[in-house]
Amino acid sequence: MPTRDSSSALAARGAFATTHWSLVLAAGRDTSPEARAAMETLCRAYWYPLYAYVRRRGHSSEDAQDLAQEFFHRLLACDWVARADKTRGRFRTFLLSGLQNFLANEWRKANRLKRGGGTATIALDALEAEERYRVEPADVASADKLFERRWALTLLDRVLARLQAEEAAAGANKRFEALRGVLLGEPSEEGYAALARRFGVTESTVKSWVHRLRARYRELLREEVGQTVGNAEETQDELQHLMRVLSS
């Protein structure tokens, strides 16, 4: 994952092609080790929305794990990436389309690899996945809607984790934990006052901290979305789409 400084430098040079999904798309059939590593990074980051999709399609937790593992195995071992439409290069769209085709055809074949069959691809935490799936809202009726919502929430979780890691590296983890609840919502004046008393600073200082964290959160959000689209122009469209998903 690019650092803050390296991402800014790349953006200044217009080097968007160094992001994960655009790197994979650029490699095409001659997939480089760097492109394969980028694909594996994306798969590890966004495997749970696929697991939830398979579960919502009616498969058991064990079958969902089997199917997710086999899908990733074929994704990494075959030339599916070469078939991706570079003019519609969202990783989210590519993954869901591929999984839908896989579920309709490939998994029924007799030579489907079984769980534990000796091919290690993407390490999935089946217990964590099933615990998360049990609390999915029942009113997200379709598998497609659940996939979209889980994708968006997974992306936001990754952004928050990156921001927390930055704050922890700067020695401000306790402050971040106190402020994370107000990152996406405006606290009352009483809330600012309580935080100011807790840290022995003025309310204006607390407001400055919140403003800085929100600005950095937005930067990281754009970076994270940029890792999953094929070119810079698609970033804003993808952001707007994901915000619509979360508000629906």
The residue segments making up the domain with residue 48 are 4-247
Compute how many other C-beta atoms are within 10 angstroms of the C-beta atom of residue 37. 13
Residue predicted with more confidence, 219 or 183: 219
Q: How far apart are CA 47 and CA 36, in angstroms?
A: 16
CA distances in angstroms from 186 to 170, 182, 203, 209, listed in the order given: 24, 6, 14, 13
DSSP character string of 35-55: HHHHHHHHHHHTHHHHHHHHH
Quote the DSSP letter at residue 111. Answer: T
pLDDT given for residue 10 in this prediction: 36
Length in residues, the chain:
248
Name, of 15-29, 78-92, 113-127, 233-247, the range with top average pLDDT.
233-247
Q: Of 201, 140, 85, 49, give the one whose Cα is nearest residue 210.
A: 201
Q: Burial, 110: exposed, middle or buried (Cβ in 10 Å; 0-12, 13-18, 19+)?
A: exposed
pLDDT-derived band at 8 (thresholds 50, 70, 90) equals very low
pLDDT of 170 > 90? The answer is yes
The DSSP line for 108-177 is GSTTPPPTTSS---S---HHHHHHHHHTS-TT--SHHHHHHHHHHHHHHHHHHHHHHHHHHHTT-HHHHH
* Distance (Å, whole) CA 216 – CA 203: 20
Neighbour-count burial of 5, counting CB atoms closer than 10 A to its CB (0-12 exposed, 13-18 middle, 19+ buried)? exposed
Return phi, psi of residue 29, to 5°: -70, -30
- What percent of the chain has a predicted confidence (pLDDT) above 70? 69
Predicted local confidence at residue 70, as pLDDT: 85
What are the φ and ψ backbone dihedral angles of 146, each rounded to 5 degrees? -65, -40
Residue with tokens 């840290």: 199
pLDDT at 213: 95
User: What is the number of other CB atoms lying within 10 angstroms of the CB of residue 64?
Assistant: 24
- 150: amino acid identity, one letter: R
Distance CA 136, CA 161 (A): 21
Highest mean pLDDT among 29-33, 44-48, 117-121, 135-139: 44-48
- Is the confidence at residue 120, as pLDDT, over 50? no
User: Which residue type does 230 have?
Assistant: G
Tell me: the pLDDT tens digits for 67-97? 888 888 888 777 666 666 655 568 898 889 8
DSSP letter string, 186-221: PPPHHHHHHHHHHHTS-HHHHHHHHHHHHHHHHHHH
Residue 244 has pLDDT above 80, yes or no: yes
- What whole-number distance in Å separates Cα of residue 68 and Cα of residue 66? 6
Question: For the chain, how many structural domains are there in total?
Answer: 1
When the pLDDT of each residue in the chain is averaged and rounded to a whole number, the result is 78
Kindly give, in sequence order, each residue whose CB lies less than 8 Å from that of residue 186, ignoring residues fewer than 6 positions away: none
Q: How far apart are CA 196 and CA 104, in angstroms?
A: 57
Query: pTM value?
Result: 0.75
